[in-house]
């Protein structure tokens, strides 16, 4: 492996970045700004880890042994507080590359970053920062290109920090499953990212016509005129002796290096996807709506709409209930009126039976005789007399033995429809 590096103080009063490497490990740390003695923390963690790996190599080299070794280094940082209580709270970020024959592991804590680039295939992978703006970008609230100008761009969510509770931070560790000659591994602090976003940085790193020393020099010169923060970078190039391929499952989410022709619409890299400009514009509009201040305004609109809709639904429900009650009352009144009509008809029919002559036939056999009706409606109407209906027995059968009891009730006629019924 070949390597090149640089470190620069920027416009700060002191340099809190620190780097070191040997044949099995490469480290870049950034002392946490704003905390006491960040430069002490970054130097201590780097030197302790280098010394630990040199004295006791990681065997086997895997995620478990790396995590254990990092925890051991953090414990030693916490132990410093027994003799130096004024160092409480000091902290640092960490990026580290662990290597052995046929294995490469990449570990990071904080917002310092690692890039793995394969120029031969036009692919790259990088770590995701442990920072507030990275979380906002992941949630789609802001674009990644807006992160460095965000008011919370300097807030990190994870770091190696000295404490009296013996708490340690776990690193995100990624295994490289395939290494090719010419692959690049780039480690840097956030001061470099202050001056260079992914696109211009990858253009420098993927330039196959210059050496890694020239690439590092170009990055340093770019950062000098822009970066206020400390900026440090370390570039590794794999050689033929470093090539290997593992049977382990691929862990890297590869992205395409942004290389376009003059006729193409210049795309933008957003979370590993190459999107044309027209699509990024629509995403930008969505992100604008998702800005915190706009989210509050949109939430108020949604609440107003929800309450308005609820009030309308309640009003409709009340009106429907009121209408149904009125309708039920109307139907009840109608039913009561209709039920009274049959009673009046029964009453009229009862009055009519008072003017009827009823003959009860004691012989049940005679009840089966066919009744014949003789009607004279014209005479009844003309004489204003009740209609007379006579039921005559069947003359084919003898009736001399029949005995009937006749009851006759005569009362004044009620109306023209009254009838006198005679049953023989």
Mean pLDDT of the chain: 77
pLDDT at 230 over 70: yes
Check residue 394 and report its DSSP letter.
P
Query: By the 8 A CB rule, do 175 and 105 touch?
Result: yes
pTM of the model: 0.63
Beta bridge partners of 26: 21, 97
Same domain for 225 and 98:
yes
Token reading at 18: 């620190």
Q: Which stretch of DSSP H or E encloses residue 141?
A: none
- Examine the domain organization and report whether 133 and 246 are in the same domain: yes
Q: What distance in Å separates the CA atoms of residue 298 and residue 292, rounded to the nearest whole number?
A: 10
Q: Which range of residues forms the domain containing residue 378?
A: 355-423
- The pLDDT, as a whole number, for residue 144 is 78
pLDDT at 408 over 50: no
Statement to judge: residues 328 and 374 lie in one domain:
no
Could you tell me if residue 274 is inside a domain? Answer: no
Predicted local distance difference test score (pLDDT) of residue 298? 57
Stretch 61-67: mean pLDDT: 97
Do the domain assignments include residue 80?
yes
Chain center to CA of 156? 25
Residue 21 has pLDDT above 50, yes or no: yes
Cis status of the peptide bond prior to 60, with omega within 30 of 0: yes
Backbone angles phi, psi at 145, to 5 degrees: -70, -20
| Tokens (6 digits) for 77 | 């940082």
- Enter the DSSP assignment of 416: T
First vs last Cα of the chain: how many Å apart? Answer: 132
CATH code for position 28 = 3.60.40.10
Looking at the DSSP bridge assignments, the partners of residue 385 are: none
Q: Residue 275 forms beta bridges with which residues?
A: 268
Residues near 191 by Cβ (< 8 Å), separated by ≥ 6? 8, 10, 17, 30, 223, 227, 228, 229, 230, 231, 232
**Which pLDDT does position 263 carry in this prediction?**
39
Do 343 and 361 have their domain in common? no
What is the domain count for the chain?
A: 3
Residue 345 domain flag: yes
Q: Classify residue 403 by burial, with Cβ atoms within 10 Å: 0-12, 13-18, 19+.
A: exposed
Q: In this structure, are 210 and 345 located in the same domain?
A: no
321 and 365 assigned to the same domain:
no
Give the pLDDT mean for 321-332.
72
Query: Do 324 and 222 belong together in one domain?
Result: no
- Distance CA(326)–CA(402), nearest Å, equals 62
- Asked if residue 359 and residue 335 are part of one domain, the reply reads no
pLDDT at 267 over 80: no
Chain centroid, CA 148 distance in Å: 27
Instruction: Tell me the per-residue pLDDT of 77-104, one tens digit each, with 9 for 90 and over.
Output: 999 998 899 898 899 999 999 999 999 9
Bigger pLDDT: 385 or 217?
217
9 belongs to a structural domain: yes
Is position 403 within any domain? yes
Residue 237 resides in a domain: yes
- What pLDDT sits at residue 353? 47
- Cα(280)–Cα(275) distance, rounded to whole angstroms? 6
pLDDT at 337: 60
């Amino acid at each position: 492996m070949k390597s090149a590096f640089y470190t620069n103080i920027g416009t700060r009063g002191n340099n809190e970045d620190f780097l070191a490497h040997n044949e099995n490990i490469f480290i870049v740390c950034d002392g946490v700004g704003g905390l006491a003695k960040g430069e002490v923390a970054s130097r201590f963690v780097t030197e302790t880890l280098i010394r630990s790996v040199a004295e006791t190599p990681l065997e086997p080299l895997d995620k478990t042994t790396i995590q254990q070794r990092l925890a051991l280094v953090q414990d030693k940082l916490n132990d410093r507080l027994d003799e130096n209580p004024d160092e409480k709270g000091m902290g640092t970020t960490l990026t580290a590359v662990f290597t052995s024959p046929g294995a490469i592991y990449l570990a990071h804590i904080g917002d310092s970053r690692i890039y793995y680039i394969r120029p031969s295939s036009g692919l790259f992978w990088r770590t995701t920062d442990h920072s507030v703006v990275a979380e906002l970008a992941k949630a789609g609230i802001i674009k990644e290109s807006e992160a460095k100008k965000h008011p919370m761009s300097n807030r990190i969510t994870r770091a190696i920090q000295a404490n009296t509770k013996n708490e340690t931070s776990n690193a995100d560790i990624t295994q490289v499953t395939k290494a090719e000659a010419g692959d690049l591994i780039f480690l840097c602090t956030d001061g470099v990212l202050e001056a260079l976003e992914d696109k211009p940085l990858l253009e420098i790193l993927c330039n196959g016509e210059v050496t890694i020393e020239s690439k590092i020099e170009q990055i340093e010169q770019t950062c000098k005129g822009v970066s206020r923060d400390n900026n440090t970078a370390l570039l590794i190039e794999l050689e033929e002796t470093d090539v290997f391929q593992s049977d382990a499952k691929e862990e890297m989410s590869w992205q395409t290096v942004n290389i376009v022709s003059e006729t193409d619409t210049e795309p933008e890299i957003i979370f590993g996807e190459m999107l044309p400009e027209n699509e990024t514009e629509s995403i930008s509009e969505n992100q604008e709506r998702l800005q915190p201040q706009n989210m509050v305004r949109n939430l108020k609109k949604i609440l107003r709409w929800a309450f308005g809709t609820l009030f309308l639904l309640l009003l409709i429900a009340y009106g429907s209930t009121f209408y149904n009650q009125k309708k039920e009352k109307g139907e009840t009144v109608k039913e009561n009126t209709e039920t009274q009509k049959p009673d009046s008809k029964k009453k009229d029919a009862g009055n009519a039976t008072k003017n009827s002559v009823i003959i009860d036939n004691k012989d049940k056999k005679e009840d089966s005789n066919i009744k014949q009706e003789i009607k004279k409606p014209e005479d009844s109407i003309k004489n204003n007399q009740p209609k007379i209906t006579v039921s005559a027995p069947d003359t084919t059968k003898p009736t001399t033995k029949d005995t009937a009891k006749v009851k006759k009730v005569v009362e004044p006629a009620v109306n023209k429809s009254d009838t006198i019924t005679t049953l023989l």
